[in-house]
Amino acid sequence: MKEKKQVRKEGMVRGIIKLSRNRLSVLGAIFLLAASLLAILAPWISPYPEDAYESVHFEKQLQPPSLKHLIGTDEAGRDVLTRLLYGARISLLLAAVVLSISATIGIPLGVCAGYYGGKIEQVIMRITDVFCALPALVLALAISVALSPNLFNSMLAIGFVWWRGFCRIAYGETLSVKQENYVLISKSLGASSLHIIFREILPNLTSSLTVKSSLDAGYAILVGTSISFLGAGANPPTPEWGLMVAHGRHYLPDAWWASLFPGLAIFATVLSFNLLGDGLRDYFGVEVE
């Protein structure tokens, strides 16, 4: 027993060393950690916490970056940096909500379809096909409007679209794991379906699902900010990054800071998730499409 623990520990250390050799991934991970920390601490570290939502200061509307307002103020005189920090909370929360919803719906459906086959497989996979036939943004936009457009509903909407990818991956992997000899052996030893699903199949899905989650988190943020940009997500005065770009856009080219920085924030966050995902993909040696 002790030996097993020792081996596992050594494996983990080796894994971390291997992963940390990919410098870009480490960079992505560090940025994400920093962003999460800043997001959590936003109320305490942001320079003007009262600017995060509806406050209006017409006397300092659209001021360029200065020592007082490091990246300027927006059309209502609110500090852009403060709103960016609060926006980080929203985007990271969005990624978390979308991934949890889609994993909760998609993985069980995919595993069941793959494991049981037959009619169950037919029904589940045809429904998945329907959800796959429309672009994520279009379907999420429509669901968000149907739920009545606000920030939380747009997160739900993306989650209700996103599960399709998880379902397809879980399905494909289950099909291949099912063929393995160790599954056959546990079956012939009399293991129940539940045992096989939870102890034999699911642990084998973790690597591809981890990679997918990391790559998808960034993409989900892109879709989420796009929905808000199009006006079917967060409502003003929410400090949502896409919404900030949409509003700042009207004051171009003079007040470039109001739309440049929120866009850069989205870019940096999505890039970090992609870097991390790339590193994880190389590490696990899995292809996820």
Partner 1 sequence: MFLVLIGVSILMFILVRIIPGDPIATALGPMATKESIQKMRHEMGLDRPIYVQYLLYVKGIAHGELGLSLTERRDVLEIIKEKLPATIELILVSVTVAVLLAIPLGVISALHRNRLVDHLNRIIALFGVSFPQFWTGIMIQLIFGLALGFLPITGRLKGTPPEVITHLYLVDSLLTFNLHAFWDSFIHLISPALVLSLSPLANITRLIRANMIDEMSKDYINVSKATGMSGWIVSYKYMLRNAFTSALTMIGFLIPLMIGTAFVVEKVFAFPGLARFGADAIVANDFNGVMGVTLVICVAFVIVNFAVDELYAVLDPRIKLKR
The site for partner 1, by CB under 8 A, has a size of: 46
Examine residue 270 and tell whether it contacts partner 1 (CB under 8 A): yes
Among 138, 184, 198, 199, binds partner 1 (CB under 8 A): 138
Taking the complex as a whole, the smallest distance from the CB of residue 202 to partner 1 amounts, in Å, to: 27
Cβ-based nearer residue to partner 1, 70 or 282: 282
Measure the CA–CA gap between 137 and 223, rounded to whole angstroms.
6
- The answer for residues whose C-beta is within 8 angstroms of residue 237's C-beta and 6 or more apart is 53, 54, 76
Q: Which stretch binds partner 1 (CB under 8 A): 46-54, 102-110, 111-119, 223-231?
A: 223-231
Examine residue 245 and tell whether it contacts partner 1 (CB under 8 A): yes
Examine residue 266 and tell whether it contacts partner 1 (CB under 8 A): yes
Q: Which stretch binds partner 1 (CB under 8 A): 81-89, 183-191, 192-200, 259-267?
A: 259-267
Cβ-based nearer residue to partner 1, 25 or 73: 25
Taking the complex as a whole, the smallest distance from the CB of residue 53 to partner 1 amounts, in Å, to: 23
Evaluate the CA torsion angle 25, 30, 31, 36 in order and state its sign: positive
Taking the complex as a whole, the smallest distance from the CB of residue 100 to partner 1 amounts, in Å, to: 22
In degrees rounded to 5, what are phi and psi of residue 73? Answer: -125, 160
**String marking each residue 68-97 x if it binds partner 1 according to CB under 8 A:** ------------------------------
Examine residue 218 and tell whether it contacts partner 1 (CB under 8 A): yes
Closest CA to 106 of 53, 69, 161: 161
Examine residue 127 and tell whether it contacts partner 1 (CB under 8 A): yes
Closest CA to 111 of 184, 211, 217, 196: 196
Q: Which stretch binds partner 1 (CB under 8 A): 40-48, 57-65, 70-78, 123-131?
A: 123-131
Measure the CA–CA gap between 8 and 78, rounded to whole angstroms.
51
Closest CA to 39 of 107, 94, 105, 111: 94
Measure the CA–CA gap between 248 and 266, rounded to whole angstroms.
15
Cβ-based nearer residue to partner 1, 34 or 252: 252
**String marking each residue 142-161 x if it binds partner 1 according to CB under 8 A:** xx-xx-xx------------
Mark out the alpha helices in the chain (DSSP H runs). Answer: 2-20, 23-45, 80-116, 118-132, 136-146, 151-178, 181-188, 193-195, 202-230, 241-248, 257-284
Q: 223, 136 in Cβ contact below 8 A?
A: yes
Burial class (CB in 10 A: 0-12, 13-18, 19+), 229: buried
Which positions touch partner 1 (CB under 8 A)? Answer: 126-127, 129-131, 133-138, 141-143, 145-146, 148-149, 218-219, 222, 225-226, 229-232, 242, 245-246, 249, 252-253, 256, 259-260, 262-263, 266-267, 270-271, 274-275, 278, 289
